[in-house]
Chain A
Amino acid sequence: MTRPLALVEQFQYGLDAPICLTWELTYACNLSCVHCLSSSGRRDPRELTTAECRAVIDELERMQVFYVNIGGGEPTVRADFWDLVDYATAHHVGVKFSTNGVKITAEIARRLAASDYVDVQISLDGATEQVNDAVRGPGSYATALRAMRHLAGAGFRGFKISVVVTRHNVGQLDDFKAIADRFGAQLRLTRLRPSGRGADVWDELHPTAGQQRQLYDWLAARGEQVLTGDSFFHLAAYGEALPGLNLCGAGRVVCLIDPVGDVYACPFAIHDSFLAGNVRGPGGFAAVWRESELFADLRRPQAGGACHSCSAYDSCRGGCMAAKFFTGLPLDGPDPECVKGHGERALAAAVGEPAPRPSGDHSHRSHHSNRPRPVPVSIGPRPPAGPGPSQARPGLPPDRACNQSPLAGFRPG
């Protein structure tokens, strides 16, 4: 069997269609997690309609995309969510959806357990209520655990429990694994990114250098028992690579479709710099994937820049594009969490230069967060001085429709 190129190199040059992609169906969410990668909260009035979502699914079927990772926001609060899941699986597009569990009743769990083509991922960011709710909000631990009980009770084996590793939960890895084992679920750990509202809490939540080492050792000892979504490939510079492609797949094998149909290189890169097009454009999603100049750029060999001379470059490949971008580091420089410490030094040298802000913000207008938050800063004209946030902001799209409850008709229960 001849191998003109190693697989990882084939992937670097991109595929005719993504292997899988992330599709955020709505910016509406019942929670206000402090690290939300998409700054979700309120529905956007321009979100894709049911018919438009079905057209995207038809296209994914033609492109033979095996499955989509559906997220949000909280995707299950869309009234047509279950219909879209059924439509996708009927059209040979598998679905894995991420949820905080709010809509996973016993009845829904039974329905999910009956399908081979649907996988569920429950988000949990603390193995204890205290640690979880500090990040995800009051009541969110109980909601997630209730959903897990329903899934396990319905016989759904191997659903995912997805944890964003932070400074405060990295000491609970064994406890997370025990929770997963208890429910017959599979643990998935992913990396905190300074994306969306994550930029506001990055400095206080991202694992310390010592914790990163601890995390790497823990993951390396567990091999494929614990999933990582390939998100810790920057840790490969410690030595052996963790299981996975160990490659930034942005625009090469993965991408993001956001709720309004915008296509970004990756779910952690919601910024105009990584916007490749919109599924509503001529040629739809396929044209964006195959013809966007941005994606063509990402599929060219990367030079490595300042990292080029580092002995670890072949392992870590410079780390995560989004992590660099939203901490203000150059894309061809080190990852902010570079295990050799190059990122920390680069950040220290860059003090004073503001990092780019995410292009959109759908956060709830009033945060009832139980922790102090930095003052939100957004690009655009200064809002008029005045009593309330509901005044029109000149120069920005009208957001009246968003001022209504994004969860109209939704009752937690």
Chain B
Amino acid sequence: MSYLDSPRLHFSGWFQADVSTINNDVRFFQNDSFVQEYQQLGQNGSWNPEGTGVFRLLDCSVTGGFLRGLRLTSTTEDPVIGMTIENAADRAPGKLVDLDPQQQMVSQIWGMQVRLISQAAQTIFQGEYAPAAFTNLWQKQQQGVRLDQQLAACYQSVVENVAWTDVHSSPLLRALKEATEDSVLSIEFNVFGYGRDSTIPRYTMGHVAGTIGPYKRREPKHFVRGRQMIAVAPNFTKPAGGVNSLQAKVSNDGQSLTVDFGNSFPILTADSGLMDIGHVLLGVLTTSPPAVLPAVDKTQFQLIGEVGYLADGWYTQTAGVETFDLTGNPTARQLLPTCPLVLLSPNEDGTFKVLIQESIGGLYVRADSFVFRIDPGETQRIEFHATQFGAPLANSVINLSATEGFMGGTGGGDTVSPPMRPTAPIPKIGTPKDAIEYNSSIKTNADGYAALEISASRTGPGTPRGYLSGQLYGIAYQLDTHPPGYVSNSLNYVSILAFSRKDPPKCPTWYGDIQRLFTQYGNLYPIMGRYVVDLGSYSSVVSRIKILRLAFSLPIGDANHMPVTRDLGAGDRATILAWLDTKGHDGLPLLGSPSESPAAASLAAIDEQAADSLVSLLPSQAAGKTAVILQLEQRGKIAPREERGEAK
């Protein structure tokens, strides 16, 4: 079960993602050429240099629900409608974190608590949001004001350790509590309409609409084991049919189909609501073709229903999740186990344009979690689920191979102002290859499940990126049975940050072990240096030993974990703690001598092609994801979009 099952509740409101932006350009990690001007607002497309990393839900209220086949939209139907979705009220807010400056396309939420609170401010349930990365990033917003983030994405995860209080007054909540297992809830939300212009009210904020439903143990946590409609998108930001990838699920009794359109339909501007893209029909093909069809006639599909996306309040009250009743449609029920879903737009000649189609042959495989951080000598498991038309795909081989995915390069432009001295090369990722090991294939069990063990070598990757520690690796995966011409979701690959090895010395010193690291954080995250502790200064750092001791010892899932960016390996963190704990005669951590300062590591591999593919950023364009996508186009990794300019 998941948020696509019943009962479920829908919410909508705003979110804040107060991300810091100097780290959008990998070159600013090179301490030797960092100058303070890089910390200014607007410099080199840096639109929020004083970002705190905070991610939080704001003004979010329950706007709809679904219970026993009925849509609920008002408090009189169920008192849950109108309640508030909030974050923690007794600790720091959650954080939004890129995996790495060279992988900004899987930003994860960490340390967020989700609470439902009643109109009387009573907490009805609360639980911990399991860290999750967004997926299905695309350009949902067609027009924008200066610096608007026109990309949108969705997050799916679970809320764990859910504690309930009083649910008696709400039939929906009673049913939800009854249906879910292991004190876990399934949660999905869509984020869009995000503002990056510091002069507008929406600055660092955007719209959110989402759904919370039951969770069943052993089901994936970050996608629905159901039906996957995959956009044809040579450039993932611009799906060919104008509709982005989505997932759906046929109910266990086969009598209804629930589809999540929440991240699939375009909007014109941040606040415009959904664009009118004409009639949109949901159907099931009468055959299972070996390719994505451009168009069909009325004999080629069985209609399931029209998507009511233009109805007043539809998106707000459903978060784009719609259930279609199949009880009166035996043909569809008969076709669904073997034939793909299609979303259609009627043509004038009586045929229908296919906006998006279910995966070819109904085949699909997904890594549940797809973002990993791994320390030297550590082994982790990547969990895969394979399905065919939503049913488990047993005894199927999943092939694994190295990929760069959409990683590498940088999120900056072709010029840096003031110019870097010396210029920072752009590191190549994925090297050395042998720092990460895994099998080249695995086989699913009877449940369509398979786990891949990835092991980091004991020595780690070294410091192949020179001024930036650790290394990125990507793993591509596909079913052995994927037919030729199979359309994959190009965002489905695994991203791994392998940390460099660092053996904590017995007596670490500021100059020998800490300064380089802290200076880098101080450069990239000036909010800390300006208001809490100047990380580049020994005397400032040793005046805040207690709070640093606490923050660096907190587990990675804690909202106050340092570093906020969660990009420091266990060895480096142990070194910092050892340094804070090992006091000299003056009672302070050891200073050491400047002669102990390690020279900046040289880059083992430079990505010349990335450096040659840098694109100039227009004044209206921000560094970060916008620049990354421009560079991916320039490098031929994704198809170019037609226009170039504001609509990025």
Question: Are A and B bound to each other?
Answer: no
Q: Name A residues whose Cβ lies closer than 8 Å to a Cβ of B.
A: none
Q: Name B residues whose Cβ lies closer than 8 Å to a Cβ of A.
A: none
